[in-house]
Structure 1
Amino acid sequence: MTVARATQLPADVRLEYPFASNEFDLKSGATMHYLDEGTGPVVLMLHGNPTWSFYYRNLVKTMQAAGYRCIVPDHIGCGLSDKPQDYKYTLQQRIEDVEELLDHLAIEQFSLVVHDWGGAIGCGVAGRRPDALEKLVLLNTGAFRSKRIPFRIAAIKVPFVGEFVIRALNGFAGPAATMAAKTPLTPTAKRGLLWPYRNWRDRVAVWNFVKDIPLSASHRSYQSLVDVETGLAKLAGKPIQLVWGKRDFCFSMRFHERFKEFFPQAESCVYSKHGHYILEDGGDGVWQNIAHFLQA
């Protein structure tokens, strides 16, 4: 059970991540772990690869103190959720999983904070229910077609070789803990981010996220991404904030500028010294910036 796994987190990680565990059984049969902290207007936070709800720990504390209810799921295969080896690890399935959780919790209105893969998943959810979305915060992410993929990621997208590097050698989550943050992570933060991905089985979603990057029309998730991109037009009138680490090697400033084409009225906050893990690099200044935007 995932609740039992939560109690097994290292003691220092538990101190940084002191939240109650919640579980929800999806129609697929997998159990999703999620945080449900605070009361008030709902903020849904969606992580990417290779992070989990731990990545949002400080933003949850900030928003909870500001009078918000924070819903933060671990995608299937990630964090404290189940890690089935035969799951349909596709963008479409991810979107449906989050929609199931929202329906289960009877959440009709929410603001959205998304990072990395959470952008495509979250914007996919919002595009399917735009009337439910109140505000949108985009953190170094993408939600549209692009062939701009760093060589170091393209190199491990190759079948068999890529899976071995990622799952056997920890060649994705491990390096990310160093490369994605321009300010070195504290030992506790690094341990927390990596804890759920300690062996071959645990890294099943880490590999499948890389595998699911759609670069051509023949890819299984290409049409799903087209649908997400098309749905962005339904969100253009919403209050939107772009919070970007300029030194991100993956979701570079080109992604930021592309979002500005979709959302020309968006508030833009660019941090010149920060990288992909903007919530880690930026600290309290970034957390409060997001909180002020959501409260405005």
Structure 2
Amino acid sequence: MPDLPTAPGPGDAARTRPPEPLPFAPGSVLWEVAGDVRMLFALPSALVLQVAHPAVGAGVDDHSVFRTDPWGRAQRSLQSLQLWVYGGEQALEEGRRLRRLHKTISGTDHHGRAYHALTPAYYAWVHATAYPIFLRAAEYLSRPLDKDEQHRLYDELLQLGDILGIRRRDMPPTPETYWQYFDAMVHDELEATIVVRELLDPHRPVTLPDRSPAPLRLLWPLLHPPLARLNIFVTTGLLPPAARERLGLTWSARDERRLRRFGAVVRRTLPLLPERLRYLPLSYAARRSAGSSSSRTRAAR
């Protein structure tokens, strides 16, 4: 008589369930770079790369409030990003929250193709744009990462993908295979979508929140044009050259020299600022907490 299958025991589900992703901690590359205030210069470039994919661009065009509440959207996105790296156990819940949020985002892009925000290829592309932008921000605004740091950063981005619910099989496994994937995406998928053109339009109207101080609201018509031009200049410059070319963006040798001079000023100026201004709020709090914990541990020894 053949053996009959046995009913699963109470421990079987635990053995088959994948382990919970590990939150980030001091000593990781992302811990050092993701909360640096210089990332504020780099994040718009990652957004442009993301929305240059027609499906992602259509999702933002159809469902985002980036036109009606640009400051609120930017604040919420930045808060979420900081939680991924510095939130500890909160990072895991934030990853689950984002997946719940994106379950309802679907529609049709301007090519007539259906999209869903959690389609693995689209969801992975949004995450994958972080790698080249981190590298280029480090090169221009901080210091270039060496080969070992580049590999560590990529491994950590795969770990971050675990937190966000991005399957490993949907991401290139190594930096070397990443660049093959990136080149294919740029050549075969990316285009100057409606959202790309809006984000890179220096005349796009951006109003301040109502709670802004009255003097700032008064000066905003004078401040906005040069700030918009600077933002677009840095955003364009931090895009990988192949993506710039694909999107039809001009970039001259003079532009390159100007960006490198700008980066040199940022590198020299930032160390002069107090620590609380060099790091974004969650990063600053996490760094201080980690420093205090290390001090207590050394004292106990």
TM more than 0.5: no
Higher share of residues assigned strand: 1
- Which of the pair has more CA radius of gyration? 2
**TM-score (structure 2 length as normaliser):** 0.26
> Which has the bigger relative contact order, CA under 8 A and spacing at least 6?
2
Higher share of residues assigned helix: 2
